[in-house]
Structures are given as structure tokens and as C-alpha cells.
Chain A
């Protein structure tokens, strides 16, 4: 057995950086006198996230390593997941730093180190090949995000959101754990590679146990992915949480859930019979339901955050297609779409946050005449929205094209038809926001105040959304060079 002292700490460095930063900030928050703004803590965590991200980039091309019997592993795939998580957290931290509303939580240090703890759990989760690390990492992430949702405790809607999130989140974790326990019971091992080998041997005799375990886990994953039919919590929680946290949930939490789905799908991979006839169709139905329910329910929303919540349910449906059809392109297309989704979603939430803060109104009408008041913000929002809708020249378009191309190869035409139709439906609500911004008269002529961190976040997201749309090969080459070297 490998000894702890023999570990090459270089490999664990990104996690260690975040862990140390988190611990230091807890102490710093305690020692610093109360006059000093807690924004410094936010700045420090931003530095930690960037350092960890840069370290991960330097690890590109590292040969795969497994530590301590696979409780931790470093492979190209884990590096990409971690890069997605850290980029999302980076942007969320930036827009949190720009929020200076009195009642908002970033004035407290806890907000930042809980965010760091959440991403730390996520990083451990994606890089584990063992059920125990997987679950502990997942719970660290979930627990921190429950607190983050409820951190604005003087607001009723925030409390309601946190309560719903913690109850349903706890239930979904229980479902995942129950499913995992059957796998452990069958194979007698928590190691994913051992479980996979055992499942291949056990099919025929223990088929039903394997299916039961799969379905239990799918219920839990469906919740974490915010995909239909497990989506009912999404609008309330997204509306009640502070906007940076909403974007964190809709980007980082969703990416993490996809990572979990990928890892567990890999375990069930060896099964011949259930694979084609049961597992993949289940995922396809989830994808189809998410697209239909998300896009049609979004049509009726007037509240911006609820609209984005339903849009995020629909997007989860699109991202589920590559894994549900399991085509040749499924790795590159999922990663591409998640990267792009990250930028356009956080960008859109940042603009929504700015407008809502000034107008004290979460309604779509708050966007009326934004074009006359702050033309740059209106332009950025338009870029994000047309990318979410999937109009050519944006990254969202290319992402959707990759998904459709991949699914076409597998002859799942009905899924593509649903995707195209629901995408067209989604044009209606995305464009109604654009219509508000450009063709409605503003009530006031006041400009929207922007602060530098939000400005940076919005412009980075806008540049990325256009840039990856015009040069999609940047991401694709990166993914390919990592995966198929």
C-alpha cells in the first residue's frame, strides 16, 4: 500500500492551495479588526482561486497518477473539470466583490471562505475514483452551498429558498448514498474500478440490484443537475438566493453534477443489456423533459431570476444530450458547452444583478430602455442572451451545433427534433428581454452604476462568448490535446 509520506504533494497542490487559503481566511476573519472591510478577504480568495487555476494549467500534460488506492487521481479529465469549477468560482467571486449593497452578504468574511470550501469539495469530488471521497466531496460542496443560499437571513424569500434547498438537497444526497450502498454491497469495494469489474461479472444474476442502484442515483443526480422531473426546487431557490450565489448554483453546481454523472456512468459502462435499453433511454427522457418543461415554463416568467432558472433547466437538458446518446463527440461537446454556458450564464446574471440593484425590481420591465441608459451593458446582455438562445457567431450556437452533430451520428432523431423546436421556443423569451432593452422607453435616464470587478467579469464573459463562437477550436484543441494525446 502506498504510504501517505510517499505522496507527491505537487499533484495535490491546487486543492492544498484552496484548503490553506480557506483555513487562513477563517483565522484572518477572526483577527482582523471590524473596521477593515471584509472585501480584502474576497480579494485574497480571488488570488487563491487564480493560483490554483494556474497550477492546474501547469499540470496539463501530466501523466495520469492515482494516489492512495485511487482515492485521489489526476487525469486529463479531472484537470478539465477542475478548470471549469475554478473558472466559474473566479467569475462568481468577481461579481460578489462588485456587490456593495448593505444587506448583501459579501460584507462578511464567511461568504468567501464558504465559497472556497464549496469549490474545494467539488475539486476533490471530480478527482476521486472512490465512493467515499466522491461522497464526502459532494457533501462538502452541498453543505457549503446550503449555507450560502441562506446567508441573507433577514430576507424571507432567502430563508424559504435555503429551507427548500437543504431539505430537498439532503434527500437527494440520501438517494445517491442509498444507490451507492447497493454497489458497495454487491462488490464489497468502494473503489470504482473494482466496482465496475464486479458489475460486469454480476450481470445476469444481480441485474435488478444494479438497475435499482442506478435509478436511485439518477434521482439524486437529477436534483443536483436541476433537470426535469426533479426541477421543482430550482425557481424558488434561484429566486431566493443572492444573485452571485444563484449564478454559482446554476454554473458550478451544475458542472459538478455533470462530473458526478460522468464518473458514475463510467462505472455502469460494462453492462451489455441494460446499457442500451434502460440507462441511456432514461437519460434521454430526462433530457427531453428538461428541454420541454424548462423552455415552456420560462415563457410565462416575468421575474428575471425565475426566467433564468427555467432557462438553466432547459440548458441542463441540452447538456444531457451528449451523455444520453453517448456518441463519439460526447466528451468534447459536453466540455465545450459547459465552458461556454459558464461565461454566458454568469455574464447574464451579472447584468441582471446590476439592473436589479439599481431598480430594486426583479421584473423584466426593469430592463426597459437599458439601451439608452447604459449602451455597453445592453450590448453585453444581448451577447449573452443570443448566445444562450444559440444564434450564429456566438459560442452558444457552436455548442448546440456540436451537440446536434454528435446526436445525429447516433440516429436519435426525435431528441434532435425536440432540441431544435424547444430552442426556437426559447427565442421568444430571450428576445423579449432584448426587446425590452432596445424598443421600450426607459422610465428614467439614470445610468446603471457599475463597479470595476463586475465590469471585468462582464467584459471577460462577453469576450469569451464571442471569442469561443468565432474560434471554437481554442477550447476543442485544448480538450483534444489533453484527452487524445
Chain B
């Protein structure tokens, strides 16, 4: 395997993505968790740049690193909670779920490895934001519009569940 700049960059980015995720699970303060998660999102954006998908990378930074992380931090700030979580305890239930998840992971990995992927290199057609726009607003116009209703429903639902009850007369 020849070492190129791309490989080194990929190595650094993937280590920081995985590292962020591991830290997110192990940290005890909620705010630190949110920051670790933002770090993971950011590294994934870097991977997208390596894959020659600059638009996806920018979107990833804007939406995940920016919006989602900020949203989480706001959520943390606006809700009352104990800042520190109890250190994780270990019991038999957790052992079973660990075994289950591990088995599932092994099966998926085995299936992916025994399937003959990467046989030939496909040529990637030129990508432009214009094409993306056409595909969203022409071919996928219906799901796009339905998504807007989905967001409306999410908004209304959040308002319904969170609003304070009025005093009954």
C-alpha cells in the first residue's frame, strides 16, 4: 500500500470521527458530549471532501455541525437536568444487549465482506448544484413537499406537547 496525502488525511479524519463518537459516549457532562458529537460531525464533513463531494461537505457542516449541535446545546440549556450523569453501572441486561448488538454487527460485517463489492470503478458523472436542484425540484418534488408538511407536523407536535396548560375555568 503506497502512502499518499489522501490516505493520511483519511486516517486523521476517521480517527477523529471515531474518537469523537467514543468520547461522546464516555464523557459524563452533557455539554462535553454535545461538543464531542460536533467534532465527529465535522470530521465526517472532511471525509466528504476527500470523496469529492464538496456540496455534501458544506451541507454537513451547516446542518450537522452548525444547526444540530447548536440545537442540542440550546436543548441542554433550556431544560433542567442533572449536569452529571451517574457513572454507568453494569448488569446482566446490558451484557445481553451487548451480545445481541455484537452478533448483529458481526453478521452485517460478514455479509458485507463476503459480497464482491469494489469490482470495477465507475466513472462519476460531473456533479453540480444545478443538477441537484433539478433533481429535487423536478423528480423529487412530491417527497420534497411532503417533507415540508412533515416539518410542520413536527413543529405543531412539539408545541402541543410542550406548551403550558391553560388554567381551566
Which residues of A are in contact with B by a Cβ distance under 8 Å?
Answer: 1-4, 19, 22, 26, 67-69, 71-72, 102, 108, 110, 113-114, 117, 120-121, 124, 128, 130, 132-133, 136-137, 139-140, 143-144, 146-147, 150-151, 153-154, 205-206, 208-209, 212
Size band of the interface chain B makes with A: 20 to 34
Q: Which residues of A contact B112 (CB under 8 A)?
A: 209
**Closest Cβ neighbor of A215 among chain B residues:** B107
Q: Is the CB of B150 within 8 A of A121?
A: yes
User: Measured between alpha carbons, how far is A117 from B114 in the docked complex, in Å?
Assistant: 43
The segment from B34-42, B74-82, B134-142 that touches chain A is B134-142
**Closest Cβ neighbor of B141 among chain A residues:** A4
Q: Is the CB of B152 within 8 A of A68?
A: no
B146 at the interface (CB under 8 A from A): yes
Query: Secondary structure at chain B's binding surface: helix, strand, loop or mixed?
Result: helix
Q: Which residues of B contact A71 (CB under 8 A)?
A: 139-143
Contact A205 to B115, CB < 8 A, known contacts A114-B157, A144-B153, A147-B160: yes
B106 at the interface (CB under 8 A from A): no
Q: Is the CB of A212 within 8 A of B111?
A: yes
A–B Cβ pairs within 8 angstroms, 24 of them: A1-B138, A2-B138, A19-B149, A22-B149, A68-B140, A69-B139, A102-B168, A110-B156, A110-B160, A117-B153, A120-B146, A120-B149, A124-B143, A132-B143, A133-B140, A139-B150, A143-B150, A143-B157, A146-B157, A147-B157, A147-B160, A153-B161, A154-B165, A209-B115
B108 at the interface (CB under 8 A from A): yes
**Closest Cβ neighbor of B168 among chain A residues:** A102
B59 at the interface (CB under 8 A from A): no
Q: Which residues of B contact A132 (CB under 8 A)?
A: 140, 143
**Closest Cβ neighbor of A72 among chain B residues:** B142
Contact A147 to B153, CB < 8 A, known contacts A136-B147, A208-B115: yes
**Closest Cβ neighbor of B137 among chain A residues:** A4
B71 at the interface (CB under 8 A from A): no
**Closest Cβ neighbor of A144 among chain B residues:** B153
Partner of A140, one of B139, B141, B146: B146
B116 at the interface (CB under 8 A from A): yes
Q: Which residues of B contact A154 (CB under 8 A)?
A: 165
User: Measured between alpha carbons, how far is A340 from B36 in the docked complex, in Å?
Assistant: 53
Return B96 CB to nearest CB of chain A, in Å: 15
A22, A117, A137, A146, most chain B CB atoms within 10 A: A117
Return B90 CB to nearest CB of chain A, in Å: 22
Partner of A1, one of B107, B115, B139, B159: B139
Q: Is the CB of B138 within 8 A of A3?
A: yes
User: Measured between alpha carbons, how far is A424 from B146 in the docked complex, in Å?
Assistant: 45
B22 at the interface (CB under 8 A from A): no
Q: Which residues of B contact A206 (CB under 8 A)?
A: 115
User: Measured between alpha carbons, how far is A176 from B143 in the docked complex, in Å?
Assistant: 17
Return B161 CB to nearest CB of chain A, in Å: 6
Q: Is the CB of A68 within 8 A of B138?
A: yes
User: Measured between alpha carbons, how far is A26 from B159 in the docked complex, in Å?
Assistant: 13
Q: Which residues of A contact B108 (CB under 8 A)?
A: 212
Q: Which residues of B contact A108 (CB under 8 A)?
A: 160
B49 at the interface (CB under 8 A from A): no
User: Measured between alpha carbons, how far is A399 from B168 in the docked complex, in Å?
Assistant: 48
Q: Which residues of A contact B67 (CB under 8 A)?
A: none
Return A399 CB to nearest CB of chain B, in Å: 33
B137, B141, B160, most chain A CB atoms within 10 A: B160
User: Measured between alpha carbons, how far is A69 from B135 in the docked complex, in Å?
Assistant: 11
10 nearest CB pairs, A to B: A147-B157, A208-B111, A133-B143, A136-B143, A132-B143, A140-B150, A117-B153, A110-B160, A136-B146, A71-B142
Return A139 CB to nearest CB of chain B, in Å: 6
Q: Which residues of B contact A110 (CB under 8 A)?
A: 156, 159-160
Q: Which residues of A contact B149 (CB under 8 A)?
A: 19, 22, 117, 120-121, 140
B18 at the interface (CB under 8 A from A): no
User: Measured between alpha carbons, how far is A26 from B143 in the docked complex, in Å?
Assistant: 21
B window 65-123: CB within 8 A of A:
107-108, 111-112, 114-116
Task: Please name 12 further chain A to chain B contacts, defined as beta carbons within 8 Å, in addition to the given A68-B139, A71-B139, A117-B153, sorted by A numbering.
Answer: A1-B138, A1-B139, A22-B149, A68-B138, A102-B168, A110-B156, A110-B160, A121-B146, A128-B142, A132-B143, A133-B143, A205-B116
User: Measured between alpha carbons, how far is A139 from B153 in the docked complex, in Å?
Assistant: 11
Return B150 CB to nearest CB of chain A, in Å: 5
Contact A209 to B153, CB < 8 A, known contacts A67-B142, A108-B160, A133-B142: no
Q: Which residues of B contact A67 (CB under 8 A)?
A: 142
Return B16 CB to nearest CB of chain A, in Å: 24
**Closest Cβ neighbor of B144 among chain A residues:** A136
**Closest Cβ neighbor of A19 among chain B residues:** B149
B154 at the interface (CB under 8 A from A): yes
Q: Which residues of A contact B140 (CB under 8 A)?
A: 68, 71, 132-133
Return B124 CB to nearest CB of chain A, in Å: 12
Return A135 CB to nearest CB of chain B, in Å: 8
Q: Which residues of B contact A150 (CB under 8 A)?
A: 161
B111, B115, B146, B150, most chain A CB atoms within 10 A: B146
Q: Which residues of B contact A124 (CB under 8 A)?
A: 142-143, 146
User: Measured between alpha carbons, how far is A2 from B142 in the docked complex, in Å?
Assistant: 13
Q: Which residues of A contact B141 (CB under 8 A)?
A: 4, 68, 71
Q: Which residues of B contact A133 (CB under 8 A)?
A: 140, 142-143, 146
Q: Which residues of A contact B139 (CB under 8 A)?
A: 1, 68-69, 71
User: Measured between alpha carbons, how far is A146 from B147 in the docked complex, in Å?
Assistant: 17
User: Measured between alpha carbons, how far is A67 from B142 in the docked complex, in Å?
Assistant: 9
Q: Is the CB of A144 within 8 A of B143?
A: no
User: Measured between alpha carbons, how far is A432 from B137 in the docked complex, in Å?
Assistant: 57
Contact A144 to B157, CB < 8 A, known contacts A136-B147, A208-B114: yes
